[in-house]
Amino acid sequence: MAKKTAVAKSKKKPAPSTKKRKRKSGTTGERIEALAQSVVTMAEKQIDPHVDIPLRALSNVHFNEKTRYIEMGDKFQQRNFFNYGQAKRFMQTMLVASKCKDLSNEEKTASIRQIYYMAKHTIKGTKEKTFDEQSECDPIIEDLEVAVESLREELHVFASSRGSLIGQLTFVDSGDTIDATRMGSGGYSIPSIVEPDVIQFKKCNAKFVLHLEKDTVWRRFVEDRFWEKHRCILTHGGGQPPRGVRRLLHRMHNELKLPVYVLLDNDPWGYYIYSVIKQGSINLAFESSRMAIPDAKYVGVSAFDYERFDLSDDVKIEVDANDVKRSKQIMAYPWFKNKRPWAREIKRLLANGFKMEVEAMCSKSLSFVTEEYLPYKLKHKNEWLD
């Protein structure tokens, strides 16, 4: 009977829609408590305990034309305790939530790997372990994020640092004042947690933020002191930018009123990275308002740059079947679909039959990208892609 009650309840949930989700109230700690209390209440009423996990998939996101970023819909998966196929994941969800609440109470943070070991143990009276591999634990953390509508970092969980910053900015990190113009050749390593209670901006002389795809390109810009000559802040994300980098870019754009420009490879992967920075990602659609930068601009590399800068045939990387497929998928995204400049760009890429990396500019000269290419792009804004 209890199982029928739970099933009936799930059918009453709203169908997928394009309406904006109402954000849960309270702090992250209070939301975890509310989640636990709902399970206790169901058990006391002899109802099959369950948690609702919003679906992290393309089918459950929509593009909001007004805000210009991706938002999560109302589809969810119900995770029940009295379900043989779901019982273990239900237990894992509550266990990870408990560990995150402990971290919040103790005002400490832990890595994803540490959370795995904190939650892993053999269940008393059995040979069954709560987790066999970390690959079981990581998705549970992501499930908990969407269930309580809080970023992983707000659950007091951090990931390894990946991304760097240098330039015209002074800020405070955990009580230490950092002058980003005096960070040597390695720059400031952007941490996973960059919220205002950790990082506070103090002084900014930058005119814009230039985000680069890879650390190798970033090093060229640092060595040539591009940030000094053009009064800007340089960042990179080591490919697909991690949450800390995206969140910091969002904060600099909104709090310091700095425009954000991106320089990425001319290939479907570069287009996708731009899409994530600008419109948000599917996995973090519930937090797009704190991550996405709808006004970010794509300054290059463009498929038209091959002829525009008289590059040699040596820079060409042949487009393969996966590139063609991915390009068409990206063009079908609602946030790309009706943009003619992007349609021309992707059609030109496919017509060329080749893609290019930012490093292709080195075929002209080592510092061509910093001394001629980017200065030209900064002057010719009509060639940027929005």
Q: Confidence class of residue 25 from pLDDT cuts 50, 70 and 90?
A: low
CA 148/CA 305 separation, integer angstroms: 45
- The rounded mean pLDDT for the chain is 89
Q: Confidence class of residue 18 from pLDDT cuts 50, 70 and 90?
A: very low
Structure tokens at 84: 């043989």
Q: Confidence class of residue 23 from pLDDT cuts 50, 70 and 90?
A: low
Give the per-residue pLDDT at 24: 61
CA 354/CA 377 separation, integer angstroms: 22
If you average pLDDT over residues 288-303, what whole number do you get?
A: 94
If you average pLDDT over residues 290-308, what whole number do you get?
A: 95
The answer to whether 171 touches 202, Cβ cutoff 8 Å, is yes
What are the structural domains of the chain? 2-158 (1.10.10.10), 164-383 (3.40.1360.10)
Give the per-residue pLDDT at 158: 85
As annotated, the active-site residues are: 117
Span 139-198, pLDDT tens digits: 999 899 989 988 888 899 988 778 999 999 999 999 999 999 999 999 999 998 898 989
Q: Is the pTM of this model over 0.95?
A: no
CA 311/CA 302 separation, integer angstroms: 12
Span 59-108, pLDDT tens digits: 888 889 899 999 888 888 899 999 999 999 999 999 999 999 999 999 89
Give the per-residue pLDDT at 6: 38
Question: Residue 143's closest CA among 152, 132, 130, 131?
Answer: 152
Structure tokens at 211: 């985000």
Span 219-233, pLDDT tens digits: 999 999 999 999 999
